[in-house]
Amino acid sequence: MRIISGKYKGRRITPPKNLPVRPTTDMSKEAVFNVLNNHFNFSELKILELFAGTGSISYEFASRGSSPILCIDGDMGCVNFIKKTAKEFEFDITAIKSDVFKFLEKHKGNYDIIFADPPYGMTQKEFETIIELIFENELLDEEGMLVVEHSKYTKLNHMANYSFQKNYGGSVFTFFEFEGDEEESEDLEDEDES
């Protein structure tokens, strides 16, 4: 796993092999950040990463100057690894062990970008609940963007505030913005990861 851009571009991060994660591939990460780069100046953005796993997405934001960053994951091993890596790189990242659904129900905060990478095996309803809780509890800034990574078997383009999708390899990234902010309304074409 490597950081693909920003101050720490090219730096490799090696998480323990026993973490229960499915990291976003470097090529998928690059594609998603290219999309985000067209919408945001990353400097000083407030970021929330849900189901953070190894923290790979948060390190990308931090390397590009985003701060502060909050990571939520239900696995203590993942949380400890993120804390260790953040300290090593002096990133402004806080990692908290919590059930994501309970966190979203109770948390008060406002973020410029929220990135959620739930286990692909979650039900359609669970994916929908994540999106609903984020908007109902006003966790996303009015000019912000929610990105949800999921498999092609989960369909989220019927949800309120849907903006567009980007299919990349076996993964789909669905982008949400407050209605009226959409700059792109059509799905972007599939891209091959090879």
> pLDDT tens across 153-162, in order?
999 999 999 9
3-state secondary structure 120-182: CCCCHHHHHHHHHHHHHCCCEEEEEEEEEEEECCCCCCCCCCEEEEEEECCEEEEEECCCCCC
Q: What is the pLDDT of residue 62?
A: 97
Tell me the whole-structure pTM to 2 decimals: 0.90
Query: In this structure, is residue 40 part of a structural domain?
Result: yes
Pairing of strands 171-176, 93-97: unpaired
Q: Which portions of the chain are predicted below pLDDT 50?
A: 181-194
Count of domains forming the chain: 1
Q: Is residue 74 assigned to a domain?
A: yes
Is residue 100 situated within a structural domain? yes
Domain range for residue 61? 26-176
What is the model's pLDDT at position 107?
96
